Structure formats: C-alpha cells, structure tokens
Amino acid sequence: MLGTLAVAASLVLLGDSGPVFSRSFDEAKPLEGASASKDGARVEKGAGRSGTSALVVDRPASAGAGSTSVRWSLPVEKLRGTRVRVEAYVKADDVAKPPKSYNGVKVMLHLKGGAGDEWPQAPVDTGSFGWTRVGFTRAVPDDASSVDLTLGLEATTGRVAFDDVTLTILPPRRPAVASASASKPDPRHGPGRLRGVMIGTKVDADDLRDLARKYGANHVRWQLLWGGFPNGPADKATPAEYDRWLDGELDRLARLTPVCRQEGITVLIDVHTPPGGREQGTSVMGMFRKAEHQEHFLKVWEKIAKRFRDDPVVWGYDLVNEPVLGMLPDGLRNWPELALEAARRVRAIDQKKAIIVEPAPWGGPDGLDDFEPLPGIDGVVYSVHMYLPHKFTHQGVHGNPTGLSYPGVIEGKRWDKEDLRRALEPARRFERDYNVPIYIGEFSAIRWAPGSSARDYLRDVIDIMEEYGWDWAYHAYREWPGWSFEHTSNPDDPKPSPTLTDRGALLKSYFARNPRPAAP
C-alpha cells in the first residue's frame, strides 16, 4: 500500500506568472493536515541545506522496497494552459536502484485531463549524493481537472531529503529575435520536402538504390551508431578508440554519398553514439557526467563539419540522438548550453547546412516545452521523435505486453488520430511560437502489432506531418527487423516479405509525392 499524504498547499499568487507554490519546511506547520512519521515521511530540523528543516522520506532496507510520498493538490484553475517550472533541492543516502527507470526518488507532477493522466518528473539519481538542484518544465493542459505535486520514494528503499521546493508559472513564450546575419541559410535547401527513412548501420549502395528506385524515398537519416542501442561499447571506450570508430564510419559515409547524389537522396548525419556513450541501466549520456566527454563531443562536430561542409548531398547535422541528462554535476553544460556551443562551432566551419536539435529527454514532443531556440544561430531545425503511445508502438519490446490495437484503448485511454495530434501539439506549438521548422527524425510502430494496427498508426502520424508540412524519416530501413516495413507482421518470420507489406505500400504511397532527381 502506498503511503501517500494529501497536504493542503500554501500558495503565493503573483499575477499571471511567477511563484505559485513554495515550501522550505521551516514554516510553522510545514505538513499541516498530515501525519508523515508513521509512513517514514517527516520534517526534520537540521536536515536542510543550511542546517534548517527539510522533508525527509526514509525507507530502511529492512522495510523492503515500497513507496512513501507526500502530495500537494494545487489549484488547477490557476494552472490550466500555463507552463510551469518545478524545482527542488534533493539529498540522498543509499537509495536502492528501483525496478523501473521511472521509479525511485520522486519530484513529480500528476496531471489529469481529457487526454488522460500524465506524470512528468525530474531526473534524480539513485545511490548517495549531496544537495543537488533538480527540476523540469511542463505545459499544463487547458482541460486539466487536477494538478498534484508529489515528493518521495517509489518502489525502492533509502533516505531522501527535500528542501526549497517551488512551482512557478513561466511567462508566455515570445518569438525568437531574428538573427542579424545578412545571409540566413535555408534549412530546407534539399530537393523540396524530405520524406525518407532512418537507415541501418550496414546499409550499402544496393540498399540505397532500392530505397530510391523501389520505394521512392528521397532522404536518409544516417545514424552513426556504435555497438547497438541504447548501450554500446562507447561508454568504456578511450577517446582514441572512439575516434577510430568514428573515422571508419565517416569514411563509409563519404564512400556512399556519391550513390545518394545519383539517386536523389538527401543525407542528415546523426550522432547516435556520442563520446561517453550511455550508462548501463540508466541511458544517461556520459557527456552529461564528465567534462572530457563534452569537449570531445564538440571536437567531433568540428571534425564532421570540416569533412562534409562542401558535400551537397549532406542536408544537415543532427547534433545528438535522444539526449538523456540525468542529474548534472557542477561545471558541466546542460543540453541547451552544449547544443548551443556545438552549433556555434559548426557555424564557424559551415554556414550553410541545417543544424538539427532534439530536446531532452529522449527527443519526445513534450521536451520542447522545456526548450528555447538556440540564440544567434541561423538555420536550426528542431526535431522530435514520435512513438506515442509507447506501450503500443513498442509492444513486445523491453517487457511491454503485446496484443494492443490502434485505434483503441491503450493504458486505460482511447487513442485515435486526434490523440496523436494532441501528443504532437508541443512540437506544433513550438513551431508557431518561434516560427521555426520541425523535423520528425523517427517514428514507427512495431511490425507485429495486431491486424492493420501498425499501418493505421503510421497513416495517421504521416497524415498529421503532411498536414503541417513537416519533413520526416521513418524508423527504420534495413536495420532491426522489428521496425522493418519489408517484413510481415509475423514476429517469427526473420526474412523480408517477397511481396509489398501493407506498411511498405503505405510508405511508398507517400514517397511517391517526392520529386525525382534528374537523370545523371
């Protein structure tokens, strides 16, 4: 049974933006209306950041993994339609690794609305660490019926302290100020609209010719991926080992760009594996743990830009695939800061090609609610990946159940085309707010979804992207068979289908809208 305490929130309302909720736990009655001690949650004097009070949640290992949290119900009528920033200082002692990545230390909102329940939360490490500020930004739906703030532990043991917790309404976003550059590069300088695919790491000349001639795609997102996803050998590689791998991959790309040019295929270079790789078990990127990985990452982009700045086949540079930060050590750049520095270094070398930036975490549409355009950089395209609802698109993968149909009820709520549109709304909103282009670098549905579900899902996602005029790349072509549109829906059949699948026919029908290249 969850030990959850409903607590009346103390509020400070300052117009349309500013602090809405704050708690230092030095108030006269910091947990008025609740008795925290019986469930391991209490306010302790001297446990705070400066010897003041803090909220402490304590679950000893002898109690077994479980959940204890304190919950504040916030005034939803004040928060509907706003963007809010949640921040807290957290200190942990011996917090055990939980069974799921979304369990553990909770600094979390629970949003209820017409589209269902959402649980956005701050990334917080396990183990032991000193006082660290964590936080996240989230848009509250216009139709939200309730907003709760939760602090505590979920499905784990250990001791965690919380101090100086705030929830702030952010001011409305303003369009980015136009750059003073006299020659703003056009991020859509390819062959018109881009409709294509993410490609596997073993794709060669014949595969590219098939993609163009058999299916009609005019674009590939070229992943520089080392050793598989999400965790390959890069997390343990030396800088020299990483550079040897990268140089080999860039040599391969340079060998195949003439084929792409002949076939009318525009290339986006995607650093799928950055220096430092991803931590085992968390997928946090090493470059958000160590400064040397960040500096190496910047040099990687200098190398790529120098090598491909004069290649007309290369449309742009996707700085990193699906960034995941976790808690950031002092002195390291966060993702917007690191992306800005990488973009500046690319622009110092190549002033023409598009620079593609995905938000953290995982490049999801919601990440753009916690992102601002890179200041002073021309030709930036903002990219998200579309796999929502995840339980449907990834059924049978990573322990997810199978048998989920689209359209249909998935995780207790109905999903159809309008729900997909709502899921993509953060990207549409970002596009409108800042007048910037959007690119969908990945979207897919597992091939063994029941009946025509995968095709129907892809059709609705593509229809929305086409309506909005977004460029896109399907995930994936001749990579892992689970995402292959050339394989049947039978998970036990490892070979491509001798005939066109329903998903292949669907993609081919959209690729037919692409302009064809002139004869070489």
pLDDT value of position 191:
52
As a whole number, the mean pLDDT across the chain is 90
Query: Is residue 19 pLDDT above 90, yes or no?
Result: no
**Under 8 Å between Cβ of 218 and 195:** yes
Q: Is the pLDDT of residue 318 over 90?
A: yes
pLDDT band at 17 (very low <50, low <70, confident <90, very high): low
Q: How far apart (Å, rounded) are the C-alpha atoms in residues 225 and 285?
A: 14
Q: What is the pLDDT of residues 254-272, one digit of tens each?
A: 999 999 999 999 999 999 9
Q: Whole-model pTM?
A: 0.85
* pLDDT tens-digit series, residues 384-443: 999 999 999 999 998 899 999 999 999 888 999 999 999 999 999 999 989 999 999 999
What is the spatial distance between Cα 295 and Cα 325, in angstroms, rounded to a whole number? Answer: 16
Average pLDDT estimate for 234-251: 95
pLDDT > 90 fraction of the chain, expressed in percent and rounded: 74
| Single-letter amino acid, residue 71 | R
How many angstroms separate the CA atoms of 47 and 36, rounded? 16
DSSP letters of 366-418?
A: GGGGG--PPTT-SSEEEEEEE--SHHHHTTTSTT--S---SSEEETTEEE-HH
Once rounded to an integer, what is the mean pLDDT over residues 322-338?
92
- Tens digits of per-residue pLDDT, 179-212? 434 345 555 545 578 999 999 999 999 999 999 9
473 SS3 class: strand
Q: Which helix (H) or strand (E) holds 420?
A: helix 417-423
Query: Which residues are CB-neighbours of 285 under 8 A, at least 6 positions away?
Result: 274, 276, 277, 278, 279, 293, 320, 323, 324, 325
Residue ranges of domains in the chain, CATH in brackets: 3-169 (2.60.120.260), 195-511 (3.20.20.80)
For residue 228, the model assigns a pLDDT of 75
